[in-house]
Amino acid sequence: MQKKSLWVLILGMFLGIFISVGGNVLAERGSRSPETEVLPFEDLRTFTEIFGRIKRDYVEPVTDKQLLEHAIRGMLIGLDPHSDYLTGDQYKELQEGTTGQFGGLGIEVTMENGFVKVVSPIDDTPAQRAGVRAGDLVVRLDDQPVKGMSLGDAVKLMRGDPGSRIVLTIMREGEEAPLKIEITRDIIKVKSVRSRLLEKDYGYLRISSFQSKTGEGLRKAIAELEKENAGKLKGLVLDLRNNPGGVLNAAVDVSDAFLDKGLIVYTEGRIENSEMRFNASPDDVLDGAPIVVLINAGSASASEIVAGALQDHRRAVIMGEKSFGKGSVQTVLPTSGGAAVKLTTARYFTPSGRSIQAEGIEPDIQLDRFKLESVEGPDFKPVKEADLSRHLTNGNRSKKKPETKDTEQDQEKSKLEITDYPLHEALMLLKGIAILRN
């Protein structure tokens, strides 16, 4: 009886696939290549044979639902690293992530050669504070090897109750042995836009991820910077380092904020609604003030859309490292039962027609990753002419300017090249552009 029901199920699957594929072939005959019009009967027969063998011979009982779910997930994972099958819980977590609050460690991940690869840690999250870096390969989660897991299963293990701990075993380029990093889980509340004045007339704006309200948050942040500055900015550093991307429309909104005309990004795919074009509206929130965009290997997807658009329109200087190179668009398609399919449906292109897929954005100014250290101690002051005994006076009859102590802002600037060298270089470039404009 059990064997009979198994073959009835397989026959039903076979007929379903036949009707689905056959219907598509008849509907689209003439528009597809000949090889795609042939129904792969031998492959379907192999599938049903393997399905039956697993049901009969696998060491533990497996339900039909489990096998079918694995088959669906396998079809999607085999396409590219970003297509996937999402269970109801995973679909809910994805929706929470685009709104800016979810539980977990705070890292954006993908699959590479069977391991979980960190695209980038999210700002001010447990993963970032613990020292996880873009490019790290996670090979174990606690005592469980990652090899053989789906991306969804790995993410599920990394999530958990706030306060609980997990140990990530990581392979890192340049390290001879694997690193073990213990992380305490927390509720991840991502504030996608942060800003501050670097000094008078020069602002800093950091986007950690692209969420549904990022464009709105950016405009508000710039207005606050100008209010604090008591006037328009002479330049802005837009920091997209370790930004894993996010919502496509948010990337368009951010680009549009700095452009007053022209194409921002366009997408091309096989289905009609996958082909889209996004154009800028006549409104530049900085009124043409220069921008330096910082990127690195952890800048991906939506970050690359923004960097590519501003670079092609010569609206900003791109500085840093070559970006990640994710130039594909994923569409989330809900299915019955609350699950969903995340399917790659298009590639996106910069205004000049560049595809970023597997290539990334090349910065206009390349900065290698290294750390600067101060040669002298903070209390050391070099000897000047004015310090020598019996030195000649200046000869200027005007009153001598009183000596002033370094302000907190001056001290912060002196620390910047040590704590964040790329940001220091971006600020120096902005000041140089402002001098040439005057």
The tens-digit pLDDT sequence of the chain (438 residues) is 555 555 555 555 555 554 444 444 434 444 445 445 567 888 889 999 999 999 999 999 999 989 998 999 999 989 998 899 988 877 877 776 555 556 689 888 888 888 899 988 888 889 999 999 988 999 999 999 998 888 878 888 898 888 899 999 999 988 989 999 999 999 877 788 999 999 999 999 999 889 989 999 999 999 999 999 999 999 999 999 989 898 899 999 999 999 999 999 999 999 878 899 999 999 999 999 999 999 999 999 999 999 999 999 999 999 999 999 999 988 889 998 889 999 999 999 999 999 999 999 999 999 987 666 666 555 556 778 777 777 777 776 555 555 545 555 555 555 787 888 999 999 999 999 988 887
Choosing from 83, 301, 303, 323, the catalytic residue is: 301
Is residue 82 domain-shared with residue 106, that is, in the same domain?
no
Between CA 304 and CA 249 the distance in angstroms is 13
In degrees rounded to 5, what are phi and psi of residue 284? -110, 110
Name 327's Cβ contacts closer than 8 Å, sequence gap at least 6: 301, 304, 347, 348, 349, 355, 356, 357, 358, 359
Amino acid identity, position 184? T
Is residue 265 domain-shared with residue 351, that is, in the same domain?
yes
In degrees rounded to 5, what are phi and psi of residue 33? -70, 155
Is residue 261 domain-shared with residue 331, that is, in the same domain?
yes
Final residue belonging to a domain, choices 366, 384, 413 = 366
Is residue 131 domain-shared with residue 93, that is, in the same domain?
no
Is residue 288 domain-shared with residue 204, that is, in the same domain?
yes
Is residue 209 domain-shared with residue 358, that is, in the same domain?
yes
Final residue belonging to a domain, choices 366, 387, 416 = 366
Helices vs strands, H then E, count in the chain: 11, 19
Is residue 230 domain-shared with residue 166, that is, in the same domain?
no
Q: 80 exposed, middle or buried (CB, 10 Å; 0-12, 13-18, 19+)? A: middle
Is residue 359 domain-shared with residue 221, that is, in the same domain?
yes
Final residue belonging to a domain, choices 320, 339, 366 = 366
312 noted as active-site residue: yes
pTM: 0.74
Choosing from 312, 364, 413, 420, the catalytic residue is: 312
* Total of domains in the chain: 3
384 noted as active-site residue: no
Q: Which domain holds residue 292?
A: 193-366
DSSP, collapsed to helix, strand or coil, labels residue 34 as helix
Choosing from 117, 234, 326, 342, the catalytic residue is: 326
Question: Is 375 within a domain?
Answer: no
Sign, CA dihedral 255-257-263-266, equals: positive
Is residue 266 domain-shared with residue 351, that is, in the same domain?
yes
Is residue 220 domain-shared with residue 309, that is, in the same domain?
yes
Q: Could you give the dihedral angle defined by the CA atoms of residues 3, 8, 14 and 16, in that order, rounded to the nearest 10 degrees?
A: -150
Question: Is 178 within a domain?
Answer: yes
Question: Is 309 within a domain?
Answer: yes
Is residue 170 domain-shared with residue 237, that is, in the same domain?
no
DSSP, collapsed to helix, strand or coil, labels residue 341 as strand
Is residue 231 domain-shared with residue 354, that is, in the same domain?
yes
